[in-house]
Structure formats: C-alpha cells, structure tokens
Structure 1
Amino acid sequence: MNAAAASTRAGIVAPTVPRATARLQFHAGFPFEAAAAQVDYFHALGVSHLYASPVTRARPGSMHGYDTVDYGCVSPELGGEDGLRELVARLRGHGMGLIVDIVPNHMGVGRDNAWWWSVLKLGRASPYAEFFDIDWEPADPALCGKVLAPFLGDQYGQVLASGHLSVQPDEETGEPVIAYFDARFPVTPDCAADIAARPLDAYDAARPEGRARLHALLERQHYRLAWWRTAAEEINWRRFFEVSDLIGVRAEREDTRAAIHALPFRLYAEGLIDGVRVDHIDGLADPEAYCRYLRENLAALDADRPPGCPRDAPYIVVEKILAADEPLPASWRVHGTTGYDFMNDAGALLHHPAGEARLTAQWEAVSGEARGFRALVLDVRRRLLAQSFAGECDALVRILHRIARADLATRDWGAPAIRRVLTELLVHFPVYRTYVGGETPLAADEVAMGIACKGARQALRRADHGLLELLAQWLGQVPDAPATPALRAWRREAVRRFQQLTAPLAAKSVEDTGFYRYGRLLSRNEVGSDPGVFSLDAESFHRKVLARAARFPDAMLATATHDHKRGEDARARLAVLSELGDEWLRLVDAWMRRHEDVKAREGPRPARADEYMLYQTLFGAWPLDLAVVDEAGIAALADRVGEWQTKSLREAKLRSSWVAPADAYEQACDAFLRAVLDPRRNGRSLLELSAFVARAGAAGALNSLAQTLLRLTTPGVPDLYQGTEFWDFSLVDPDNRRPVDYGRRRAALKDDADAAAAVAGWRDGHIKFRLIRRALALRQRDPDLFRRGDYLPLAAHGDAQDAVLAFARRHDGRYAVVVVPLHASALVLASGPSPVPHVPSRAWGDTFIDLSGLARDGSLRNALDGRSCAVADGTVRVADALAVFPVALMHA
C-alpha cells in the first residue's frame, strides 16, 4: 500500500505544520525499517510527525548523514526509496507526517561523490566544476586550474618516497586510479591513455625512475595531492567550517540548486514528506533568496500531491544560531528556527542569578583566567583566523586588495594593512553573519557592523581607522549603481566571502573552542547559548516567548538535539549548582586537595581548570541508578566521560588539539579520571559525589520537568529528541546518539501507576515519560489551543512567589494554565534526607496564581495527575496545583 492510500484509508490527514515532532538519527544501524516499527509507539505517545536526519545517500558508514555524496538518491544504507515509502505508508496510516533534513551547503568528498570525482578527473571542463565553491584562479600559480587535495598523512615528498601512492585499476570500472591506502583519485583521460600504453609497475615508487614517472603523472592532474596540514593556509575551496572532507556547494547557482533539490521536491510532490529542515542556513550565499526558492517551489507542487496529503503551506524551519536579541529575518518567510533559541532561553531561566558571583570567583581561582567569556572568544578568533582559517582569510584579503587598487583614492592600502584591519573586524563581529545583498535590507546588519567596528576601532591604531570605515562600507553595503560591472562583481564576491567566513569562525570560536575553555558552569555552554550570560529572569523569558509567538508561532522548540553538548537533564541538574554553589564548592575544594595525592601517583597532573570541568561533568552525567560498588557501571561511566574528556581537551586547543594531540597529557588526564572513579582508591570522594547527586539530583529532576513542560506548552512546535522521553544525562556526540531502548518505552505506555507513585519512583524516569505523554495528549485533543492560543504570563503572589512561574494559553474561550517551580532547590532539599523532585505543599504557604480575566470560581483539572484544583476569586493556590505532581498543566 502506498503512502497516499494508507492516509486515505485511515481518513485522517496530518497537517504540514506538526503538532509535535520526534527527531530521529538515521544510519545503517537504525534504518527506515527500524523507525517504521516504532510508528505506532510515537503515535500513541502523541507525536504528529517524525523529524528525520538527512535521508540522501551519504558516505558509507556515516552515522549522521550530513556528508551527502548523492543528492539524487535516498540512502541505500537506510533502506533506499522503497524503505522510505514503507515508513511513510506506516506514518500515513496513523495520520502522521514526515519532515526531513536537507543539506544544501556542503557535500562529502571522496570516490562515492560522482560530482567531486568528475571535478578531480576533468577539472574546469567538468559539468560540475561550478557546482562547488572552488577558486580556480588562486594567488598560488601552482594551483591555477587545480583543486588542492589535502588528504595525505605526511608531506607529499615523503609520501611519494614511502611508496604509499600507486597506480592501480579501479575496483569498479577497471580504469586506472591513484591509490593512497583506502582513498582513490582519478586520472585525466589523456593520462589514462598513457597508462594503458605501459605496464602499471612503470609507476612503482620503489624505484627512482618509477617514482619520477609517478610524480610527473600526478603533476598533470587537475588536483594537487598535499599534506592535510596545508588545508588551513592553502586550500582553494570553501569547506564546511574547517572540515577538509566536506566541500562547500554553490546553492546560489540555479543549476546547482535544481540538482540539489530535485529529490526533495519529488518526495514532496508524491506526498512522502511534508516539509524540510534546512541545515546550516548561514553557510549559503543568500539565505533569503534560498528560502524563497524553497518555499515557492514546494508550494507550487501542492497541486501534484496525492489525495490524503495535507495541502497547507509546506513546513520549513532553518538551523540558525541567533545572538542575544538577534531576530530571525521575517523576510525569509519560514516557520522559524529549529529551536536552539528556545533551548537557550529555557536553560538560562533555570539558573539562579544569585549564584553567578560565587561560581565566577571559583572559576577564576581554579583556572587563573579572570577574563569573561567574550574576551576569551576574541583571542580564540584571532588564533583561528591565523591558523585554521588562514586560507579563507587570505582569499578575502586578495579580493579586497583588488577593490582597493581599482580606485585612485584607495589604491595605497596594501594587503598587510587590509589583513590587519579585517582581522579585527572579524574578531569583533557579534553575530554569525550579515545578509547584505539580500532582497530585503535588514536593520540588524547595520547594527552588527557598527558593533564590530566599535570593537575593532579600540583594538586598532588610529591610523587604521580610515581603512576600517572603508572595509565596513565595502562589506556592509550593496555596491553603488555607478560602479563598473567588474567592481560590482568584486564587491559582491567580497561580501559573500565575508559572510561565509564569519559564520564558521563564530561557530568554531564559540561552540567548538570557547565552550571547552570556559568552565564557570557547563550547563550554559550549549549550542545557541552564550556562556557569558548566566541566567534569564522570568519577565525576560516571557518577553522572548511573546516575541517568538508574534513572529514565528510555528517555530520548533528544542531542549535536546543531535548537536547538543550535554543532555537536557544533565544541563538541568548542573543548573542546580547556581543555587547550591556553596555546598558544591566545598566539595570541589575537598576533592582537589584530596586528589593531589592521586595526581602525584599518576604522573603528569591535569590542569586545575580541566579538573574542575571534569567534576562538573561527572556530576551532570552520573546515572541516577549508579551505585559506587557497581564496578561495571563505574567503568561504563569512565569510558563515556573519558571520550568526552579527550574531545574537550582537543577542542579547547590549549594543551592538546586534533591537529597535534598531546598524548602524554591526554593519557595523564585519562589516568586521573579512572583513578578518581576507582572506589578502592578514592571511595570517600565517590561516596560524596554519589550522595550529592542523590540530593541535588532531585532538584535537577524538578528543573528537567519544568523545562520539559515549558517546551510542550509554550507557542511553537515541541521537538522530542530520540530517547529523551526518559532521563537524558548524555554528553556530546557520539554519546548523545546511542541506541534507544524502544522496548522500555513501549512498556511505559502500559504503565498506569498513579502520579504519587511516579513521583516516589522518580529515578526510573517514568515521571518524565508521564509528563510528556499527557501533555502531548492534551495538545492532540485541543491542537488550536496550543498552536493558535494566546500566551498570557500570570503573576504569582505570596510567600514563595519568586519560586514559581506560570502562564496561560487561551483560544476561543478555552484555556490552559501552566505552573512550574523555579529556583526551588532549597524547598526540595528541605523536605528531608531522601528528597524527591517535588516541593512539599507546606513550602508554598499562601502563594497563589492570579487568574484574573480567565476564571473566577470553579475548578481546573491537572492533565498530569488527573486531580481537580479549585479556583476561587480568580486565583489558584500553588499548594493545590502542585499538591501531588511537581508541575501542573491545568485546563477547564
């Protein structure tokens, strides 16, 4: 049965705008068939759409799908198009839909990418030569007409002499190729003819004449094989960030764009998908034009969709990191972002501002770093520009120098001066990028450039200020009409290169370096967040929710993603340290003193900053059911944290790095970690840590429940990342992409334990599952209330008014009231030696929520525990609303 037939038979149609999504990461170990087997589970849970990682063919063995090698093919490893159709038929049979991730910015390079192979083989004569963002005429004359191929493990001469390069017949075609271990590179057709005229051993690098002949052959190719370390400075094509096996694609070109989107457009027309998530929108040359292209082409296909498919606007969301108060451009006319902004807002809300000063002082003491996060990032940016992005920066300098030379008034500005000033402009740029050149001018672009100029001006000598203003004009404004066609083209090219450099520079300096250097409180080191911003008050949270509801009411709301640095519940637990800072720091000080002996025994000692971040990670990731005597469980935790620690050290680029791993230091840190987690050698500290997790973990779980309910009830589309129905204390990938136990989750559907039992047994995670299922059920019963309903902040009054946040959703005379504790750790822990994530009723005293304008007298039913709560004189007592269950979702 096809998808449309299944939908028609079921008589139910999922709208293209989801009610709630479940994010799944597909790979060979979890193909379409595995997802299809869980469709009935997700339907029972209350999810309306699956939200899939990329389904196009990626490099063999890819665990994520973002290294696409064929845009026109559904991945055979995932089950191919037949498997996709079976999955969608199952979805349609339950009235559900599918949103897929598309990756228009970059592709994976290698033998499996036919476009890339053609470019290497034919050079500029390839029909795909302009599909990729390649500079065919770089400054280095040796690379003119060639593509740098920085894939060798050592310098070219040494690799050539080692005999690891050879000419071999291709396993698939029999044509001659250049082999380097498992990698293969093509040879030009004329070279292939020459090779055919002599035996292959004529190119045997073990003999001097063979080595010379092989080198001469390689010099005739349309690529230059090079040591991988040359990429940062010499690469002549745009990479995804600094990843040299992902090449930038020119989606701004009409032919390229058509080739990229033929498959998703067909899948949409055939009713197999209902919308798309656009990966890394800021990598594209013109996001506004791209979004318009996507929206118009998908909408034009509505008439082709089979009966039983939704016909409203296709759902389009974009992966976009927004800086503080940076708006998503309304001119893009998308449904919103993928939810990093909400993840930041909800996370910051959980942090108590009173803890900032104490935790800041502790971080400065252990790290010796008195600068704030912003100042730290400025230094990181300078280093990355000089090392990781030197090639991209050089290319931009060259074109700016060309622009300067074209005018008598500016031709005396030399390339060194341009680089010096440009560096400071890039270093101080406050957002991912501008959108200059788009159809709709954005006031935010001018603001961003102004902030960057202000910072650069303070860092530069006065003599450079004139050049700074000039560069700001060239890079921040559309070129004037009177300019010559050539100059206008150069200006546009400079703007494009600038915009496609600021975005990866921001990502690498903040997310992939700064987050691993700055350890004041790791729960604020999350994608979409600024670790320098410690907390968010309730009023500001409401303001941000209202702004999102007004501009993008159907944006995604996420608290966990495939890219998160820590699981949503690990972050919620760590946020408790903003309230329990004194107790935490007493423990840490004791551990650091006690573990001096461990360090001495183990050899080289970890830096105190690394040690401090390790303790935070252990606290955040410690499983609730892990006992100190559980040797297997402790070993499993050590392995997980050890993998995080190695990644953390290398990403920080202070004492180790991916480019030059410091084996001795990494081994010392790993040995220290395992010594700290050895109960026979460090039993006292482990018992203290375990006991602290048991106590503070209850408050952390309450944070988690509050965060989860906010995601499920504020305006937007709540996204459930795979496996997070239960507690998620995962670390950065690959830890956050571990297999999901769906058997356990299916069993939870049958669990009818009452609310009090769920609270008492909170450690098993069923309490979170209950919340999610019941909140989604209410959304399913009254979808308009949550999609179209007003968001009304509600005031709390009384003894504990600062420990509660409340709001209502109202639509067409119906309403729901949400009440969650906020910064309530003291109230939770005061309940006794074995606390649960619930504030005792007596702790609320006379605190009440003002429902003026919503209700006067009567009662509300809490969807999460089934109890009724009285409304008297337009108020509801918090002690009544939260009498049994930790949070409340009440409706009339």
Structure 2
Amino acid sequence: MNPPRATYRLQLHEGFTFADAEAIVPYLADLGISHAYLSPITTAAKGSTHGYDVVDPTAINPELGGEEGFRSLVAALRARDMGVVIDIVPNHMGVAGGENAWWNDVLARGRGSEFAAVFDIDWSKPVMLPVLGDPLPKALADGAIVIEGDEVVAYGEHRFPLRPEDHGTSDPVEAVLKRQHYCLAWWRTADDELNWRRFFTVNELAGVRVGDPAVFERTHALILRLWEERLIDGVRIDHVDGLTDPAAYCRTLRERMGPEAIIWIEKILAGDEPLATDWGVDGTSGYDFMEEVAALLHDPAGEAPLGEAWAARSGRPADFAAEELQARQDELAWQFEGQLKATVRAFATLADSDPDNVLTPEMLRRAVERLLWVFPVYRTYGTGDAAPAADAAIRDRARERVAPLIPPGEEFVVDAVLAWLAGVGPGDAELAAQAVRRFQQLSAPIAAKGVEDTAFYRYGRLLSRNDVGFDAERFSLSVEDFHARMTARAADWPRALLATATHDHKRGEDVRARLAALSTMPERWLTHVRRWDALAEAPLDGVDPADAYMLYQTLVGAWPEGLAVDDADGLAAFAERVNAWQEKALREGKLRSSWEAPQEAYEATCKAAVETLLDPARSASFLADVAELRAALAPAATANTLAQLALRLTVPGVPDTYQGTELLDLSLVDPDNRR
C-alpha cells in the first residue's frame, strides 16, 4: 500500500455509482491522484444522495453496484497503483421509511430485541416516534392511523411493526397502540420529548452506541473485513464528536487496522483548539486547513468598515460573538430541550448520590444551559472519572466566558459541573460517566447548530468568513501566523487532509475567494451596494435589508464564469440556484422564516426579487453595475483562487480535491455543491 499523496473525493449515489467512478480512474490518475476518497458505501436509505443515512452497515450499497461493483472499482485503482479510502458513519443510522431491519426489530420487540443495545435509547418509556402531523388523539379521530396486517400504518405512508403478541389482533387501534414498545407522537413534540439520541435535529437518524464492544463489532464487521482483504487503504470517520468516547473509539480502530491504515476524522477545531496527538489518527478531514487558508486571503483593513456597514444596515451586531450567543440560546431552547432535560436529570441524579449534596435540579439546569451557551469548543473528552490534560484549558475558558451570565451566588454550581467534567466531582462513578457523556454529546450539536446552521445565516459582514469549521470572530490571518500553523502541521500532522471544498461547505472555494477579495476594496464595494439599493428599490420592496445584503454578496460571489448580463436563459438558471440557496438561508436563520414554520409570503417576495434582479429585460442597469464590480474584482479574486490552490497542493499534508473542483468551484450550499 502506498502512502497518500493526493485524494479525490467522490459523492456516490444511484446516479453516480462504482461503475461511474471506475470510468474516471484514468482521468484521476492523470491528475496525479493517489487515492479515491469515497462517500459512505454501506447500504443507505433508498435514493440517498449522500450515504450518511446508513440502514445496513453489514453490506455494500446495492444502488452503488454492491460488493461486486466495489471490487471492480478497487481492481481498476490497484491496476494504476492507486488506493481507496472510504467514509464510515459510526455515530448514527437511518431509521426512517421502514428500511432498517435492526430498528424495526427494536420497535417490534423493545428491550428484548437483539439490537436494543445498538441504539442510544432511554428505555424508561416507549420509543417515541414523532411522525404524526397532529397530536395523537386528533390523528386517531381522523382515522389517520390504522392496523394493516402486522403493521401500524399512519397516513397510509409510515409503517411500523406490531409486537409479535399483537399479530392478527382485531382490537381497537388506540388499545393496540398502548401495548407497543413505541408511541406515535406529533412531530412538534420531538425537540422536547424525544427519548433517543438523534443526529443533531434529524429525526430520521438515530444515535448508535458504538462504544459498546459488541455494537462496535456488529457495526464494523464489513469495514474490518474490507481492510483485512486490503480492499481499502483507510477510513474517514464521520462526526467523531458524536461518540461517547471518541479517543477510545479511534484507538480501538487503530489497534484493529494497524499502523499502515489511513485514519482521518471529521473534527471541527474551534478557534485555536489543538487536535489530540494520542488518538492514533492521521489528522482531520481538512476543515481546519480550509479555515486557515480562507482567513489568510482576507485583508484585515476590511474588517472595521465591513462590520460597521453590516451593523448599520441590518441592525444586528457588528461582532460575531453576540450573534453566536443568541443563536446558541435559541437552539438550546427551541430544538434541544429534550436532550437538555435528560442532561440535567443525569447531573441531578449524580448530585443526589453525594450525601453532602446541596444542588437542586433547577440550579443545575441554569449552570448547564449557561455553559452550553458559551462552551468554547465542540466538546471535551472526560469519562466521568478522568479527563485529558488538554481539557483543563477549555474548562478554564468556559468558566471565564460564562462568568457574566451566572445568576448571583450560583458560581459554585457552575464550578461543580466543571469539576464533574474534569473527573474530580463527588458522587457515584457510573452516574458521573453518564452525566458527563450527556453533556459532551449535547455541547457538540449546540455548537454545530448554533454556529454553522443558525448564526452563519444571520451574520453577513462578509460571507466568505462563514463556513463549516470557520471562526467568524477572526476576520483574517497574518502570513506569519499561517506559516507558524503550517510548521506545526508538518511536525504533528504530515498526513492530515487539506481541504478547500467539501460536500458540506456553505460556499464553493472560489466563491469564498472572490468574496474575500472584497476585503481589499470595502469602500468600492459599499459604493456599489448603495447604487444597487437605488436600482433595485422596487424589486427589493419588502425584503429585509440584511437579506438583501447577503443576496448581493451571493450574486457577486457565485456568478457563473462567462455568464453574460443579457443571457436571459443563463440568468434564469442562475436565479433558480440562488433561490434554492436563499430559501435554505432564510429557514436556517430562523429570523423571518424557518423549516418548522415557513413564512411563504416573505419567501415569495424574496424569490420574486431574485428573479427580477436576474432578468435582463427588467434589471439591465442593475446587472450592468454588478458586471462593473465583478470586472474590478476579478484580478484579486483570481489571485486568491490561485494562491488557495497553490497552498493546498504544497503545504504539509495530503491535498484533497472535492469532485469537480479541479475546475472553478462556484457552488453554493447543498444540494448545489453535490451536483
């Protein structure tokens, strides 16, 4: 097996299979690629476009060509002395649509199922299934739930197995439902009442207890067999911070796969957080480099004028910290109440195991939620009875940041929670492990959803600084700091991935490079913005100024290369892409629309504005002025693009090319970046 020199990321699905990947192997070889880097290959939900909703981790996805197709692809790669790295998903499985046999068995047999230990379920009550469009009594009254054969059917669409004891029953539906190991519930109650761990806020993805050795063996049998047969050269571990003990998991995988295997982890490093060097991994999947090289491209002189302009226009904070705090508070209150309550209960139970306890559940809730509002990284890595030395600095930063938010006289409560995270608090050791696990598995999604999926859609100072793994508080990075980081990378992580585009990015690498160039000419940019406000006054009537400002940036950043301002068909196609981005941005931001309650009238106003602004018959003057700015921006934007590429290919590490980005990458957020 050859060491990785350069990877090429391929997003596999039924429209791009192993056979399609095999067909481009000669092209990849000509590019100088050493390893194909594949999205998850295990069996996912039918029609999955990404593969992270795994329904059977023991088999290769037949929609991709099955094991035969995979072996053929590997043979083609090996024939050119190339390797393959696969993405694995240990944190969760897809459980929607009745396709997951393990989950179905759990629903049918409850704790008696051989698969009950696979999923992270609180068995103090039936498994909650938030699939109903109305509260259960109304759904029953409307006849929306029926028994068909050995299944419960909701809305003629959702099908769930009956307990074996209820096969053939003729009892009333309500009575039958009360006897099941699960309960059907109104979808709006999921955030508050769900009793199993899910991936972030996705009800279709259930958390897996991969820290249990038996569960590890069951879910990793295929991966380890592929390694033993040398059909893979290594793995990329998805969402490692979702696991109970990421360090132990990575060390176990390294022990099982040996020193030659490539092991990369998807890990967001917040701010200046270091990656632990004792996990047995080769580094991250590259978000940290993406952040470093993107910050390097920004001129610090643009920070103040762009921040002031954003604040004046939007009425929102010029600094990101205030926006992040509000977003974290919103997410914790709106979408993670169920997990928060479970975490507080765990700490309250732990506290009660100490004979000298004086902490009430209410005190603990105030302490826990405030720490989650300001926690400086995704998570710490304590086990309840110990914690890595590196966690101490993180806890100290958390204590400093939370201080202004602590209720008067309750500092000792925060200190008690931090002591438990450090592994030195009082009480039962097993209860401490459970409480610490719950906190750490909640702090990560609060960071992700609060920052990347909320605040980044509310904060528009310069959108090139809002992307996965980015520290939006930091506007730029000096050349000296960049060199220091690359020196450290050479010493500690010479085999880590170097990414500038991924299947999760908010904007393509060259969109960010263009927008970064605006930091060198803030006054010229703002002059054009004032002109656009006048030229687009009618189309933008009813559109919030903050949304209009982020739209302007998107039009400039993502404008397709070669698209003429009088190309009506090309502009219409661009408008369709921009509107897909805009709908997602509005709903993720949760200020003027949301996924839970779409504000269709406002969204329609915004959509009509885009269509008008990109119509040469109605907005010729506006389009001409956009073209004028783009022409002025082009030299700096091109320089940024080439500098970013040159650095990715030359600094210490393994450069990754996301599919198609060897050409100009002007994509927007998914699904646009997965086309």
Task: Give me the TM-score of the superposition, normalised by structure 1.
Answer: 0.74
1:64 and 2:50 aligned: yes
Amino acid at match of 1:563: D
The one of 316, 320, 329 equivalent to 2:263 is 316
Q: Does residue 104 of structure 1 match 2:84?
A: no
Aligned to 2:605: 668
Structure 1: distance between partners of 2:573 and 2:424:
56
Opposite residue 644 of structure 2, the aligned amino acid is: Q
1:268 aligns with 2:214: no
CA contact (8 A) 2:535 2:621 kept: no
Match among 431, 434, 445 for residue 490 of structure 1:
431
Of 411, 415, 418, which residue of structure 2 is paired with 1:465? 411
CA 1:652 to 1:733, structure 2 compared with 1: closer, same or farther past 3 Å?
Answer: same
The amino acid across from 2:101 in the alignment is: A
Alignment match, 1:127? 114
State the partner residue of 1:297: 256
SS at structure 2 position matched to 1:659? coil
Q: Aligned ranges for residues 618-629 of structure 1 at < 5 Å?
A: 618-629=555-566
Distance 1:589 1:619 in 2: 15
1:30 aligned to which of 16, 19, 44:
16
CA contact (8 A) 2:18 2:73 kept: yes
1:222 to 177, 181, 194: 181
| Alpha-carbon offset, residue 673 of structure 1 | 1.3
* Superposition deviation, residue 475 in structure 1: 2.4
Q: Does the 8 A contact of 1:32 with 1:87 survive in 2?
A: yes
Give 1:256-655 correspondences, 5 Å limit: 256-299=215-258, 313-410=260-357, 412-437=358-383, 441-477=387-423, 487-600=428-541, 605-655=542-592
Q: Distance in 2 between matches of 1:737 and 1:166?
A: 39
Unaligned runs of 5+ in 2: none
Using the alignment, how far apart are the partners of 2:8 and 2:386 within structure 1?
34
Indicate how the Cα distance of structure 1 residues 442 and 176 shifts in structure 2: closer, same or farther if over 3 A, else same. Answer: closer
The CA deviation at 1:161 is 2.1
Amino acid at match of 2:594: S
CA–CA separation in structure 2 for the residues paired with 1:530 and 1:643: 25
Q: Deviations over 1:193-242 (max 9, x none)?
A: 4x2xx4xxxx7xxxxxxxxx111111111000001111100000111011
Gap regions ≥5 residues in structure 1:
1-13, 138-143, 170-174, 204-212, 300-311, 739-892
Q: Which has the higher contact order (CA 8 A, sep 6+)?
A: 2
Question: Which of the numbers 734, 739, 748 marks the counterpart of 2:671?
Answer: 734
Tell me the distance in 2 between the aligned counterparts of 1:529 and 1:367.
Answer: 22
Contact 1:168/1:179 (8 A) holds in 2: no
Instruction: Indicate how the Cα distance of structure 1 residues 287 and 449 shifts in structure 2: closer, same or farther if over 3 A, else same.
Output: same
Matched residues in 1 for 2:204 and 2:634: separation?
A: 41
Distance 1:333 1:214 in 2: 53
Rounded to whole Å, the distance in 1 between the matches of 2:461 and 2:595 is 24
SS in 2 for 1:674: helix
Q: Deviations over 1:552-610 (max 9, x none)?
A: 1100000000000000001000000000111111000111133222334xxxx111000
C-alpha distance in 1 between matches for 2:350 and 2:183: 29
Deviations 1:653-673 (A, max 9, x none): 111111111111111111111
- Which residue of 2 is the match for residue 116 of structure 1? 103
- For the 8 Å contact 1:598–1:672, the answer to whether it is kept is yes
* Larger displacement relative to structure 2 (419-428 or 491-500): 419-428
CA–CA distance in 1 between the matches of 2:560 and 2:292?
A: 26
Give the match for residue 790 of structure 1.
Answer: none
Residues 492-891 of structure 1: matches in 2 within 5 Å? 492-600=433-541, 605-738=542-675
RMSD: 1.4
- The one-letter amino acid of 2:264's match is V
| 1:232-282 residue CA offsets vs partner (Å, 9 max, x unmatched) | 000001110111110000010011000111001001111110000000000
Residue 176 of structure 1: CA displacement? 3.8
Change over 3 Å in CA distance of 1:420–1:48 after alignment to 2? same
Displacement of 1:440? 8.3
Determine the structure 2 residue equivalent to 1:886: none
Specify the SS of the correspondent of 1:18.
coil
> Which residue identity lines up with residue 492 of structure 1 in the other structure?
A
CA drift of 1:371 comes to 4.7
Distance between the aligned counterparts of 1:403 and 1:659, measured in 2?
A: 35
Opposite residue 120 of structure 1, the aligned amino acid is L
Structure 2 Cα separation of the partners of residues 41 and 21 of structure 1: 13
Correspondences of 1:146-157 after superposition (within 5 Å): 146-157=126-137
Give 3-state SS (helix, strand or coil) of 1:331's partner. Answer: coil
Q: CA deviation at 1:183?
A: 1.8
Change (3 A) 1:622 1:371: closer
Residues of 2 paired with 1:191 and 1:728: CA distance? 56
Please identify, of 17-26 and 467-476, the stretch whose mean Cα deviation from structure 2 is larger. 467-476
User: What secondary structure, in the 3-state scheme, does the structure 2 residue paired with 1:27 have?
Assistant: coil
Deviations 1:299-346 (A, max 9, x none): 2xxxxxxxxxxxx61000000000122111011021000000000000
Out of 244, 255, 258, the position equivalent to 2:203 is: 244
Partner secondary structure for residue 173 of structure 2: helix
Count of paired positions:
674
1:441, distance to aligned residue in structure 2 (A) = 4.3
Q: CA deviation at 1:400?
A: 1.1
What is the CA–CA distance in structure 2 between the aligned matches of 1:406 and 1:371, rounded to whole Å?
Answer: 46
Q: Secondary structure at the match of 1:84?
A: helix
Q: Which amino acid aligns with 2:282?
A: H
Change (3 A) 1:528 1:448: same
Match for residue 842 of structure 1? Answer: none
- Structure 1 residue identity aligned to 2:522: G
State the match for 2:212 in structure 1: 253
> Residue 313 of structure 1 aligns to a residue in which SS?
coil
Contact map agreement 1:288 1:438 (CA 8 A) in 2: no
The answer to whether the 8 Å contact 2:536/2:622 transfers is no
SS in 2 for 1:151: strand
- 1:437, 1:478 within 8 Å by CA — same for their partners in 2? no
Change (3 A) 1:176 1:394: closer
User: Aligned with 1:681: secondary structure?
Assistant: coil
Range that drifts further, 443-452 or 114-123: 443-452
